[in-house]
Structure 1
Amino acid sequence: MFNASSAHPTRRGILAAGGALGLGAMLAACGDDDAKSGGSGKETGAAKSGPWSFKDDRGTTVKLDKVPTNIVAFTGVAAALWDYGIQAKGVFGPTTTKDGKPDVQAGDIDVSKVTVLGNQWGKLNLEKYAALSPEVLITTTYDTAGTLWSVPEESKDKVAKLAPSVAVSVYDRPLDQPLQRVWELAESLGADMKAKKVTDAKKRFEDASARLRAATKAKPQIKVMAGSASADLFYVSGSNLSADLEYFKSLGVNFVEPSEADKKATGGWFASLSWENADKYPADVIIMDDRSSATQPADITEDTWKQLPAVKAGQVIPRSAEPILSYAKCAPLLENLAEAIEKAKKVS
């Protein structure tokens, strides 16, 4: 769950510089009331025609006169809402690849139908954002302070004046909890949670969870490593703090755990290893960060990588280090890991 390409020492990393010229009038027109939120309220909103409120994972309740339709969201959150039939007008975060195709974090979003406000982490164009007349900004948070994921630190106050924000926490809680919160959020925004597509996806997730539990029970000796790669470093994630790994661990996955000393420099998230030391932690199965910010296994040329037993055995699969928080997108993650463990040979 870390940004491998820039080797951030913490989950927050170094936020990109924000701000834009010519915003004074637009920001001045947005009074403080636009960003205010109450301290209590229902967790889900009313019907489409009535007022809307939602209490997020910061304990902040956003209240609006009507259910918002001018939604701006971090790409991964927008992708989750898309699966529930809720379409954001603007997105920020990795959305399209260099050839114009949807980024892995964009899921099934029709990228031609959204305004991309920043096509990488930590970028959000304020002028484009203001032009959308946003009613709410939705993203995740990866710390106890409620820091808005991918909202630039330098422009966060200006962003806050344009629209209230909703944050779903994926920090130090198992995956099923933020999944449920996004479900509740989508329902509040008018999604049909009884639609067959939606209920089938939830059932598939539950079945996949049971399958993974059975796989780990049958092969408790199989060690799984969560890895990521950059040009200079190989990263090994600890199983704490990350929602997907915490959930997998609760289902019995036997994770390789980097030492506390190795994780110390990153606040407990992961170990950063030189490629010469990439074999420090033996594993039978490696799940590798599939984000576009990370070097993908097929592009790793280091000999130490090629000599890892799991790599030589072909026991490497992708990992969505920032899962799209819908049941439709998370079920395959469980199925793929279950299949990998079912088929894995003990090689470490």
Structure 2
Amino acid sequence: MPQSRFSRLPAPSRRGILAAGGALGLTAVLAACGDEKKGDGGGDAGGGAGKSGPWSFKDDRGTTVKRDATPKNIVAFTGVAAALFDYGIEVKGVFGPTKTKDGKPDVQAGDMDVDKLTVIGNEWGQFNIEKYAGLAPDVLISTMFDDKGTLWYVPEESKDKILKLAPSVGVSVYDRQLTHPLQRILALAESLGADVKSDKVVKAKKRFEEASERLRKVAKAHKDIRVLVGSASQDLFYVSGSNLSVDLEYFKALGVNIVEPPEKAKKASGGWFENLSWENVDKYDADLIMMDNRTSAIQPADLTKPTWKKLPAVKAGQVIPRIAEPIFSYDKCAPILEDLADAIEKAKKLK
């Protein structure tokens, strides 16, 4: 995933899902849920209008997920749930960054009313299996940041218990361009009952296409503007390359001049990004810096490192947010391209 994958993962310690003495209680819940799953999944909250008859969807693992009826009790990674919401599909539960410490919606929650959602886990390693089972889930949906089928924010240590409760759908956001997950989420939403030919969806898709073409033209006209993509933690600054990340691969394909760390330097992160100490944060020349906007990363306004403040782009005020985990709806991705085009067009050449 984007460069803060490693800045995010080690920070919160992975929490055990089952508290002491909770195993017996969970076993009972699993058994009850197993009986209920013999039907259509039950429940009438969430989901779209749906279609009559059996439902199936072939995901990016090559797995065809089947149900006797269109899923209504949907549980999804927060960003996926937010994308489905833009298409009129509401979920029952979410896992992943949903609420900030002050109770406000996380950036990945999009337009959803987070107070109406059942949050299975708000941080890395959190996934309340009993709460999940209690929702009688018809399907679990998440993104994937590798080619092994690893479902994002589903804890590895408890995935076997979790995935026994309902079939899962994985949408790949690994080593491909932004247009792929956009198309896949749209297809998934349609299968769940969304009207993908509505004026809202058609206009959003057209806006995205127009934004893509504008970014292509701006990037060509300002190809000397070097864009560095970064993420900040207390001890390290991460410089991401354009490969592997769906947004950066798309920007690169449109002609954006992205600063590329050498492959050898990215080896420690699996090819995603280079780790730099704050003393070496000026290693690369950049005219524009895009900074990870997720709550797991330190935001530019909170950065007090002297070496950061000395960077030419920082001194020139040429720092913009990077939506490191986009909400994969055309409505949410079009502004990303528009904002980047604006920033490149306005940026001054610094060296």
Cα root mean square deviation, aligned: 2.1
Q: Does 1:147 align with 2:150?
A: yes
Q: How does 1:284-299 map to 2 (within 5 A)?
A: 284-299=287-302
Residues in 1 aligned to 2:14 and 2:180: alpha-carbon distance in whole angstroms: 26
- TM-score using structure 1 length: 0.92
Tell me: CA distance 1:33–1:264, structure 2 relative to 1, closer, same or farther (3 Å). Answer: farther
Aligned to 1:126: 129
> Does structure 1 residue 104 correspond to structure 2 residue 107?
yes
Report the residue type matching 1:100 in the other structure: G
Q: Distance in 1 between matches of 2:102 and 2:17?
A: 26
* 1:192 aligned counterpart, secondary structure: coil
Q: CA deviation at 1:238?
A: 0.8
> Are the counterparts in 2 of residues 4 and 228 from structure 1 also a CA contact under 8 Å?
no
For residues 15 and 171 of structure 1, the distance between their equivalents in structure 2, rounded to whole angstroms, comes to: 23
Q: Distance in 2 between matches of 1:49 and 1:268?
A: 45
Which consecutive residues of structure 2, in runs of 5 or more, have no partner in the other structure? 39-48
Matched residue, 2:340: 337
Out of 253, 256, 263, the position equivalent to 2:256 is 253
Assess if the C-alpha contact under 8 Å between 1:224 and 1:285 holds in 2: yes
Which residue type is aligned with residue 213 of structure 1? R
Cα separation, 1, equivalents of 2:35 and 2:219: 52
Whether 1:305 aligns to 2:304 is no
Counterpart for residue 158 of structure 1: 161
Cα distance in 1 for residues equivalent to 2:217 and 2:37: 49
Q: Distance in 1 between matches of 2:18 and 2:31?
A: 14
Q: Give yes or no for contact 2:242–2:258 (8 Å, CA) kept in 1.
A: yes
Contact 2:29 2:133 in 1 (8 A): yes
Structure 1 residues 300, 5: closer, same or farther in 2, change over 3 A? farther
Aligned amino acid, residue 128 of structure 1: K
> C-alpha displacement at 1:259, in angstroms?
1.8
Amino acid of the structure 1 residue aligned with 2:147: T
- 1:1-40 to structure 2, matched below 5 A, reads 1-3=2-4, 6=7, 8=9, 16-19=15-18, 21=22, 22-31=25-34
Instruction: Give the counterpart of 2:81 among 78, 82, 96.
Output: 78
Say whether the 8 Å CA contact 2:308–2:314 is kept in structure 1.
yes
**Is the Cα contact below 8 Å between 1:16 and 1:154 reproduced in 2?**
no
Q: Which residue of 2 aligns with 1:316?
A: 319
Aligned to 2:270: 267
Q: How far, CA to CA, are the matches of 1:306 and 1:324 in structure 2?
A: 30
1:52-71 equivalent positions in 2, closer than 5 A:
52-71=55-74
In the other structure, the counterpart of 1:114 is 117
SS at match of 1:138: strand
Report the Cα offset of residue 18 of structure 1: 3.1
